[in-house]
């Protein structure tokens, strides 16, 4: 199940997050990613393995706090299985790049799933379509989308055009049953 909160991040916030990427790539804050089990994929740069090279700006922590507040996730530990820094990973997928179909590793010796609460901050000109469990997920810049990345296979189609796709991933550790219950409660609250 994918939970989507439309227009979660403002244009000002997405601009500031993209600025970290624009400035961070030449500084090595983002570097070659993994594709199909191999490190060195230069069509998608990431902070996943390079969290020791930088400190995130305040905007990153502010957005993470807002996600935590909005979804009432205060009791959860941040994800560490996916690397990155402070539970946060950002990726920049260049034209010709994609994200191969995979699921993320579990947390806490396989006892907990990884909940990724992601924000698309820059869309590709075309392509770059997210699929979760084989279902295409239509996203706009600023949308927050959350799912158990360790429980379901997900992928992103080839980015086309000239604009890179930038995605910010904010991670938590949670059990599948706990996540399903929280989504149900959030849905009931939204319907009321």
Q: How far apart are CA 65 and CA 69, in angstroms?
A: 6
pLDDT for 31: 96
Rg (CA), the chain: 16
pLDDT for 28: 95
Would you tell me which CATH number, out of the four given (2.60.120.590, 3.20.20.210, 3.40.50.300, 3.20.20.80), belongs to the domain 3-191?
2.60.120.590
Q: How confident is the model over 99-115, as a mean pLDDT?
A: 93
Q: Is the pLDDT of residue 192 over 90?
A: no
Q: How far apart are CA 108 and CA 18, in angstroms?
A: 31
pTM: 0.96
Residue among 160, 186, 24, 136 at smallest CA distance from 89:
24
pLDDT for 188: 82
Q: Is the pLDDT of residue 15 over 80?
A: yes
Q: Percent of the chain beyond pLDDT 90?
A: 87
- The neighbouring-strand residues paired with 105 are none
Residue spans of the domains in the chain: they are 3-191
Q: How far apart are CA 59 and CA 142, in angstroms?
A: 14
pLDDT in tens, 155-168: 999 999 999 999 99
């Amino acid at each position: 199940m994918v939970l989507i909160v439309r227009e979660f991040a403002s244009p000002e916030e997405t601009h500031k997050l993209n600025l970290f990427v624009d400035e961070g790539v030449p500084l090595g804050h983002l570097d070659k990613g993994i594709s199909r089990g191999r490190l060195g994929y230069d069509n998608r740069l990431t902070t996943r393995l390079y969290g020791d090279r930088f400190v995130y700006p305040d905007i990153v922590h502010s957005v993470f706090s807002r996600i935590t507040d909005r979804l009432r996730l205060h009791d959860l530990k941040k994800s560490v299985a996916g690397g990155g820094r402070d539970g946060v990973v950002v990726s920049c997928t260049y034209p010709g790049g994609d994200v191969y179909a995979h699921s993320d590793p579990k947390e806490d010796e396989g006892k907990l799933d990884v909940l990724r609460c992601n924000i698309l901050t820059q869309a590709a000109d075309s392509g770059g379509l997210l699929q979760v469990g084989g279902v295409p997920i239509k996203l706009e810049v600023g949308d927050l989308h959350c799912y158990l990345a360790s429980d379901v296979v997900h992928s992103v189609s080839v980015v086309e055009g000239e604009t890179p796709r930038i995605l910010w991933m904010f991670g938590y550790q949670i059990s599948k049953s706990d996540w399903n219950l929280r989504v149900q409660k959030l849905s009931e609250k939204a319907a009321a």
